[in-house]
Structure 1
Amino acid sequence: MFVSSVVCCWRVFAPRVSLVILIATTLLLSVTVSARADEDPAIGLASFALASGSPEQSLFYSRNLSGYPGTWLRAQALLALGQVNKARPLLQYLIEGEHQRGAAALALARIALDEGEEIEARERFQIAADAGYGEVREQALYELAELARRAGHRDMTGRILSGMEAGYWAALGYMNLAADYSKRDLNPARALVALRVALAMSEHDTVSERSRNLRSQLLVRAGYLSYQNEEYEKAIDFLDQVSLDSYHTPRALYFHGLALTARDNHRAAMQSWHRAKKYPLAYPGVQEAWLGMGRGYDLSGYLGQAGEAYLAANASYEGERVTLRNLASQIRQDGAWKSMVQDARDSEAQWFLSDSRTLTQPRMAYLFRFMEDPAAQDAVGNVSALARVEALLEEKANNLEVFRGSLKNRLETPTKPVSGRQESLFAGLETLRARIEDLRGKADRPDRLTTINRSAKSIQDIEASLRLLGERLATRDARLEQLLQKTNIVLSRIQVLRSRAASLRGRAESKLDDLALAFVSKHDDRMAHALDKTEQKIAHLYEYLALETLERGDQ
């Protein structure tokens, strides 16, 4: 009865984030520059800057590095900065060499795929699979399997997946293959087999958090398929294994309740739905769990409690619509970047729950749902990148302002005349030189002559330094003026860049606002539909109670 609204769990999983972020992060996890940091400190500095999310700093440190380590670092930094056209020739250079061929081919393949060049992408992925190793090879094979699956060649997809190492990417491939089977087969047997293989593969993933999340998703899908096939005990067994701190927990609890209801265990079903109700209504399965409580009481014969449960669901949906309207108003006023992204971590937000766990924070829940959309991921990534650029430019401008102030203070401070003191020092040096010459003529031992010669050399060096000091002091103001002019020019350029960055960010935020408002409107419609359903349930229940009362009266 309530299943259709959450069938979205069978959407094929395609991990799409912006091309720049995806390439920069996944390749960093899988490939490291083999040159040792002690061979050139710039390699270590550039690698650290790239890994810590500062590609512009990485580009600066790697600008003078030669050979493949510098080329690879610059290519990654350029990709992270979105400068694909500048990164492309560097990647092409690497793919034709002996080092990082697989990683470079994978990056070029993703670029081609993003540009719609599927044939070129397939060729590049094949090179990456042949030349790469570890995570790079597995990603390339996964992408080849996905290309085959999307083209309808499921047998080829299976062959590619069977040649992969057990781990995250193989599990992901089998999960998507299972989604295809579930859409085309009336019998879920093949889909369940693929999901079991995916579960076995996911256990070999070395990234524990990623593995837990994928395992929960696989268990929910397997449980849902088993429920659809009326294998309720099997469904319950799958769903019992879902972690209680997973993003997929609310949906798993809802399906768990459905399977228990099908076994006529309404009390246990309502316990599962009651636990699901503790999560924000943004999550799939929570809205249905509220409605399921009333249905559970109804099937158990407790009509009074059923009415109360429906009324509670009705009030919850009404409250959520108020929350969504407030969120839409804040987006229009402050923008989605602040209202949905930045404020999601603000513990002072009025509509945060007192519970500090991330999964139970309503605004964070809506952010998670919003970020399921690849277009939303791209929009948030663009605004985030531009915000980082603005912050960097502001920091540089502030530093230059301080430097410019220091230059002005130096120019306003007059230099004391040193010509008289300099002449006095030169005269003293001449006196010392004469005494040294006198001592040199009287020196009767080699060691004393050596000491006298050293003293003469020191006097000569001091004299040269005094002359240089005089020349520098004479040109001090001119050099400071030149530095001040250069500083002003750089500041002007930075201001132009800040203006351009602000303009681009404004356009990016406007696009993000449109996506966020459409998202909020969609969820408001979902709550409105849920309200209609609860009101119908309440009306039918009261109608039944009224008829039952009339029948008792007639008797």
Structure 2
Amino acid sequence: MIRQHGQCARPGRFRHRGIGRRLLVLVMLLPGFASAESDLDRLHAGIVRYALDTGDLPRAVLMARTLTGDDAAFLRARVAYASGRRALAIQSFASLASGPQAQPRAALLLARARVAQGHPDAALPWFRQVAARGFGSARQEALYAIATQQRLAGDSEAAGRTLAAMEPGYWSALGYQNLATDYANNDHSSARALVALRVALAMVGAETDPSRARDLRDRLLLQAGYLSYRSNDFDKAVGFLSKVSLEGPVTPEALYFHGLALSAQGNQRAALQSWHRAKKFPLAYPGASDAWLGTGRGYDLAGYLGQAGEAYLAANAAFESEQVTLRKLTDTVRAQGAYEALVANAGASEGAWFLSGSGTLRQPRQAYLMAFLEDAGAQAAVARLATLVGLEARVSRERQDLGVLAAELRRAGRSGAPGLDRVTQALTRHSALLEDMTSALGALQKASGAELDRLALAFLGEQDRRMKVASDKTEQQIAHLYDYLALQALPEQAP
């Protein structure tokens, strides 16, 4: 959601943030502003980094032209890559990474670019260079990428050795989780997978970002609980799953399997409590629809057949209602576009859904947005359109600022100030350029919006089919229950 900036209502006064920023840059260029040339270089480099990190691409492109310090070549390559000049950026990264003063940070960005191009083998030597010469998060990411390539090549032992060389934290925990997934898929026993998951849980404890650590920890506990349940080790499954936080995207699925493990132990009452908790979450989350079905099954196993029938009927009504919601959301996407229907209306500005509070997890539209953004293609489509929307808003503000400035110049022109004609002509040319940019951005938005709509409609169609399958299951359970009750009601035949 783009924040709108209105003009000041007071006559004779105006706020021109764009002019203020340009004046600040001009002042910084005056002799004596910085104590030394290197200070000014570092200041310019800091402005470019901040612009890149905050998505202010126009400012990054503008300021990159004035860079002359040690980081000038590297930052200009980053700006080139962010602005779409990928070939030039990759050439610059390669030059910086293989020069006499090889830069691990350039090698890392080059490796990422190769992976994005679909050439992970070409990225591997650069990841190895970062692992050998880099430090901190860059080295951790490089080692993780190397271990991933080793895993995909089928060499789990080599991947394990690479992961063992990593420092505790997010990247190492993620690597051991992937290793555990390989073990679970390839081994008959879940022993090695559970060991890898325990190591991952120990590693994630060193992560300094609390939200990222909590999310990964919940996913690790869910995976360990599921593997334990699949191995019929129900006590261990309950132990893992009971540690999952009660306010997270994987909470409904964890509660569902927690209920299954308790039910397998014969504790139907506790199982029903877990499933009732999971039912409070939107049906978009994995495990929520299963919990509705599990509630009916739990009453059935406990011997409360009447309540089981009521639970199945309630589940069927919930699934049919969700299908209506999905179809309305599909119509909204077709009418308004996926970005407006899913992203803006869900309250997640520019796709930053991960910044939302835990209370939004209970909102159905937010839940579908989060499920939609689990796909990397959907993430890229939303990010691309959000960038274009932000650029159009930026250009629109610049046009408004130019209009205010032109009005002030016309007012000054009436007092006979010299040289204003030339400035006014320059403003007119700039305004025409901004108008052309607005048209170009509008065309790009239309194309990107169409691609995002296609992905969103396919996702919503799949969700609708999932609800249809769940509804069919409840109808089958209701039919079986009624058949059983009918048989119980028949009089016993004499021998």
Common topology (TM > 0.5): yes
2:458 is matched with which residue: 481, 506, 518?
518
- Any idea what the Cα deviations from partners look like across 1:423-461, whole Å, max 9, x if unmatched? xxxxxxxxxxxxxxxxxxxxxxxxxxxxxxxxxxxxxxx
SS in 2 for 1:126: helix
**Aligned in 2, Cα 1:141/1:513: closer, same or farther, shift over 3 Å?**
same
- Is residue 2:392 matched to residue 1:390? yes
1:544 aligned residue (484, 490, 494): 484
Matches within 5 A, 1:294-443: 294-345=296-347, 357-411=359-413, 413=414, 415=416
Q: Give the whole-Å Cα distance in 2 for the aligned partners of 1:65 and 1:344.
A: 40
Q: How does 1:440-459 map to 2 (within 5 A)?
A: none
Would the aligned equivalents of 1:59 and 1:73 in 2 still touch at CA under 8 Å?
no
1:45 matched to 2:56: no
SS at match of 2:345: helix
Could you tell me how far apart the structure 2 residues matched to 1:414 and 1:79 are? 48
What is the 5 A alignment of 1:102-501? 102-345=104-347, 357-411=359-413, 413=414, 415=416, 476=418, 479-501=419-441
- Counterpart of 2:447, as a letter, is R
Q: In structure 2, give the amino acid aligned to 1:171.
A: A
Amino acid at match of 1:538: I
Gaps of 5+ in 2: 1-36, 350-356
- Which secondary structure state, in structure 2, belongs to the residue aligned with residue 357 of structure 1? helix
Contact 2:333 2:453 in 1 (8 A): yes
Letter in 1 for 2:148: E
Q: Does 1:69 align with 2:71?
A: yes
Q: Which amino acid aligns with 1:510?
A: A
How many Å separate the matches in 1 of 2:423 and 2:84?
33
What runs of 5+ residues in structure 1 fail to find an aligned partner? 1-34, 348-354, 416-472
Q: Distance in 1 between matches of 2:43 and 2:70?
A: 15
Shift of 1:410: 4.0
Is the contact made by 1:75 and 1:87 (CA closer than 8 Å) also made in structure 2? Answer: yes
Q: Report the CA distance shift for 1:132/1:552 in structure 2 as closer, same or farther (over 3 A).
A: same
CA contact (8 A) 1:250 1:279 kept: yes
| CA RMSD of superposed structures (Å) | 2.2
Q: Quote the offset at 1:208 in angstroms.
A: 1.3
Report the 3-state secondary structure (helix = DSSP H, G, I; strand = E; otherwise coil) of the residue aligned with 1:230: coil
TM-aligned CA distance change 1:157 to 1:497, over 3 Å: same
In 2, the alpha carbon distance for the partners of 1:196 and 1:40 equals: 44
Residue identity matched to 1:490: H
Deviations 1:243-290 (A, max 9, x none): 112211111000000101110111110000000000000000000000
Distance 1:358 1:340, change over 3 A: same
Give TM-score, length-normalised by structure 2: 0.87
Tell me, yes or no, if the aligned pair for 1:63 and 1:70 is still in contact at 8 Å: no
Deviation of 1:89 after TM superposition, in Å, equals 3.5
How many corresponding residue pairs? Answer: 452
Can you list the C-alpha shifts for 1:90-119, whole angstroms capped at 9, x where unaligned?
323432457681111010001111112233
- Contact 1:310–1:538, Cα closer than 8 Å, also in 2: yes
Task: After superposition, give the CA deviation of every residue in 1:312-357 in whole Å (9 maximum; x if it has no partner).
Answer: 101110110111011001000000000000100189xxxxxxx980
Tell me the distance in 2 between the aligned counterparts of 1:344 and 1:414.
52
Task: Tell me by how many angstroms 1:546 deviates.
Answer: 1.3
Is the contact between residue 41 and residue 68 of structure 2 (CA under 8 Å) also seen in structure 1?
no
Q: For 2:213 and 2:81, how far apart are their aligned partners in 1?
A: 27
| Pair 1:533-2:473 in alignment | yes
> Per the alignment, in what secondary structure is the counterpart of residue 344 of structure 1?
coil
Give the letter for the 2:480 counterpart: H
* One-letter code aligned to 1:268: A
Post-superposition offset of 1:51:
3.2
- Given that 2:64 and 2:79 are in contact with CA atoms closer than 8 Å, whether structure 1 keeps it comes out as no
* Larger Rg belongs to: 1
Q: Is the 8 A contact 1:37 1:44 kept in 2?
A: no
- The equivalent of 2:18 in structure 1 is none
- What's the offset of the Cα at 1:63? 2.5
Q: Distance in 2 between matches of 1:62 and 1:222?
A: 48
